[in-house]
Amino acid sequence: MPVSVKLPSEFQGIYQNLFKKNPEESTIQLVINELRRRLAEYKLMDKTFRDWYKMDFDEFKKKRVVEKSGHSFQVEEDFCDWELVLDGIKTITKELKKLAKYSLS
Residue 69's domain comprises 9-102
Residue 50 lies in a domain: yes
Residue pair 100/40 in contact (Cβ under 8 Å)? The answer is: no
> What pLDDT does 20 receive?
80
Give the phi and the psi of residue 102 in degrees, each rounded to 5.
Answer: -95, -10
Residue 60 lies in a domain: yes
Residue 2 lies in a domain: no
Residue 77 lies in a domain: yes
Number of domains in the chain: 1
- DSSP conformation class of 100: G
Residue 22 lies in a domain: yes
Residue 53 lies in a domain: yes
pLDDT digits (tens, 9 = 90+) for 4-19: 888 888 888 888 888 8
Residue 1 lies in a domain: no
Share of the chain above pLDDT 90, in %: 69
